[in-house]
């Protein structure tokens, strides 16, 4: 069974968390925003229930519309397509992760060395992906959008920053992409479900990869 998604914030609840994805239609009239936000939250709550009760495969635009008692067109207007809907389901999870590595306690957040933060970052990402693996796989954008999606860019920029502080002489962008590749949901799926590896083994491999990637070059 997948780990339940974290509860969505109450609609009036103030939050300092940065928003990674804004899926509301551009140019939406100000007087409609409150209703649109309520509708979006209602749809996401319905989708989250479907994931928890029936699995990600059963989450379709029709099923979400029926569960939320709205027309299918409403779901398409809010999220565009099924990938957009599933990405929105992951939005709150990604916001919590981003808040943790930007401003949370060490070793993931500030206060630890850049190398310690990089080690903690990968372990947290692996755990989070493995806990919601089916959802991450289903929400994976197509190849043309995979590396430009908001969550990927935020994670990538963070890894680049930590590498720059830890191993400034390395090819930052290339090494960051290599590290990010280790955290890809498709690879986590292959290693854990098809190869039977534990998440602990993947974490050990991450530590080894980080050590090798940040080790000073010898003459």
For the stretch 126-157, pLDDT in tens is 999 999 999 999 988 888 888 988 889 999 99
CATH topology of domain 30-81: Arc Repressor Mutant, subunit A (1.10.10)
Residue given tokens 């995979």 in the structure block: 146
Instruction: Give residue-wise pLDDT tens across range 151-174.
Output: 899 999 999 999 999 999 999 999
| CATH of the domain spanning 104-214, picked from 1.10.10, 1.10.357, 2.40.50, 1.10.287 | 1.10.357
| Mean pLDDT, the chain, integer | 85
List of residues 6+ apart from 23 with CB closer than 8 A: 40, 78, 79, 80, 84, 87, 88
- Rounded CA-CA distance 216/186 in Å is 31
- Whole-number pLDDT of residue 3: 62
Question: What are the residue ranges spanned by the domains of the chain?
Answer: 30-81, 104-214
What is the maximum alpha-carbon separation in the chain?
A: 67
Whether the per-residue pLDDT at 195 is higher than 70: the answer is yes
Instruction: Give residue-wise pLDDT tens across range 7-66.
Output: 554 443 333 333 444 333 333 334 447 777 788 888 888 888 888 888 888 889 999 999
Token readout for 85 is 């809907």
Peptide bond into 107 cis (omega under 30): yes
Q: Answer whether 133's CB lies under 8 Å from 3's CB.
A: no
Q: In Å, how far are 14, 69, 131 from 121, measured between CA atoms? A: 26, 40, 16
Dihedral (CA of 171, 108, 202, 147) sign? negative
- Whole-number pLDDT of residue 34: 72
Global pTM reads 0.76
Alpha helix locations (H) across the chain?
A: 33-54, 61-68, 72-79, 82-103, 114-131, 133-138, 143-146, 150-166, 172-182, 185-189, 199-214
Q: Give backbone dihedrals phi and psi of 26, rounded to 5 degrees, phi first.
A: -65, 145
Closest CA to 181 of 151, 208, 147: 147
Residue 51 burial by Cβ neighbours in a 10 Å radius (0-12, 13-18, 19+): buried
Whether the per-residue pLDDT at 115 is higher than 90: the answer is yes
């Amino acid at each position: 069974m997948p780990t339940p998604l974290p509860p969505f914030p109450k609609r009036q609840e103030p939050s300092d968390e940065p928003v990674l994805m804004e899926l509301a239609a551009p140019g939406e009239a100000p007087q409609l925003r409150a209703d649109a936000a309520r509708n979006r939250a209602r749809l996401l709550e319905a989708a989250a229930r479907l994931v928890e009760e029936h699995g990600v495969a059963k989450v379709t635009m029709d099923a979400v519309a029926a569960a939320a008692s709205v027309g299918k067109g409403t779901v398409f207007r809010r999220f565009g397509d099924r990938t957009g809907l599933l990405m929105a389901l992951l939005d709150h999870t990604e916001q919590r992760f981003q808040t943790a590595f930007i401003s949370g306690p060490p070793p993931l957040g500030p206060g630890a060395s850049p190398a310690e933060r990089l080690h903690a970052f990968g372990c947290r990402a692996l755990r989070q992906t493995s806990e919601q693996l089916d959802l991450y796989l289903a929400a994976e954008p197509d190849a043309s959008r995979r590396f430009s999606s908001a969550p990927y860019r935020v994670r990538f920029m963070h890894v680049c920053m930590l590498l720059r502080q830890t191993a400034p002489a390395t090819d930052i962008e290339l090494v960051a992409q290599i590290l990010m590749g280790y955290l890809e949901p498709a690879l986590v799926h292959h290693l854990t479900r098809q190869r039977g590896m534990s998440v602990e083994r993947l974490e050990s491999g991450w530590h080894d990869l980080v050590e090798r990637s940040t080790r000073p070059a010898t003459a």
